[in-house]
Amino acid sequence: MSEKNKINPKTMGIIFIIISAFSFACMALFVNMSGEMPVFQKAFFRNCVAIILSLGLLIRSKDKFKVKKGSLKYLLLRASFGTLGILFNFYAISHINLADAQILNKLSPFFAILASIFILKEVANRRQWICIIVAFIGALFVVKPTGLSNPEHLFPALIGLAGGLVAGIAYTFMRKLSLHGERSEVIVAFFSIFSCIVLIPFVIFTYEPITLKQLICLLLAGTCACSGQIFITSAYARCPAKEISIYDYSSVIFAAILGFIFLGQKPDIFSFIGYLIIIGASVYSYIHNVKKQPAVQ
C-alpha cells in the first residue's frame, strides 16, 4: 500500500475499536443465550479461552513469564476486581436487556476517575466531577430504582452497576501496573489464570450439567471476548484513548440491535434516556480531551 493510500493511525484505531465493541456485544449475546446456569460457570469458560490466548502472547514475548519487582500485589488486586467485574457483568447480561447491561458496564471510566483519587492520588477536576454526576444520573434512569417499569429489573441492574464500579477499580490498578512498567501480556495472562483458579471451587460447588448448545455458546462468548480484547488493545496501540474511546460506546447500539433481533428485547423509554445522558457525558469529555491536545496525524 502506497503512502498516499495508507490508512492513518486514528482511522485504524476507530475501525479496531468498533470491531472490538461489536465483539463484546456478541459476547454478551452468547452469554445470555447460554441460558440458566451459575454465573461462575459462564465466567470460567469465558476465561479458559482467554488463558489460551494470553499464554500464547506471553510465550511469543521477549521476556516470557518474567514479572517486574513490586508488581505482584497490584496484579492480585487488578485480577480480583476484574474477576468480580466479569461475574457482575455476566449476571446482569443474563437477567436484563443486553443494552442496559452494556451501558452500566460502560460507567467504568467514570468510576476509574473516582478510584484514581485514592489509588493513584490523581485529583479529579471540575469537568470530570460534572461528567461523573451526569453519568450517575443517567445510570438512575437505566437502573430505575423506583421499579416503575419492572420490579424484577432492579436487583440485576444494581449488580450491573456494581460491575461497572469494580471494573473501574480494576482498570485503575491496570494503569498503576502500566505506570510501573509491567507488560500488558503479563497483566492479561495473570488475570485470566487467577480468575480461573479462583472460580474452580465455586464451579465445583454450584456445578450444573450443561448441554452441547450451552457449551458452544460459552466457547463463542469466550472467543468474542478475546477478539474484543485483541482489537481494543490494537486500537489503543495506534491512537491515544482520549481520541477514540468514545467509539467504544457503539457496543450499546450493537447490543440493542442484537438483543432485539435474537432475544426480542426492547429497552424502555427510561433506558433510552439513560443511554443518551451517559453517552452525552462521555461525548462532552471526549470533545474536551480532543480540544486540549492535538490529534495523532
| Grid cell for residue 231 | 482489537
pLDDT tens per residue, range 58-89: 888 777 878 888 889 999 999 999 999 999 99
Region 142-150: what's the mean pLDDT?
Answer: 66
What letters, b where the CB count within 10 A reaches 16 and e where it falls short, cover 233-266? ebbbebbbbebbbbbbbbbbbbbbebbeeeeebe
Tell me the three cell numbers of residue 78: 487488578
Find the largest Cα–Cα distance for the chain: 60
Q: What is the mean pLDDT of the chain?
A: 85
Task: Count Cβ atoms below 10 Å from residue 200 Cβ, excluding itself.
Answer: 11
What global pTM score does this model have? 0.85
Q: Enumerate the domain spans of the chain.
A: 9-292
Rounded Cα gap, residues 168 and 157, in angstroms: 17
> Cα angle vertex 289, ends 283, 295, to 5°?
110
Compute the C-alpha angle 78/83/86, nearest 5°.
125
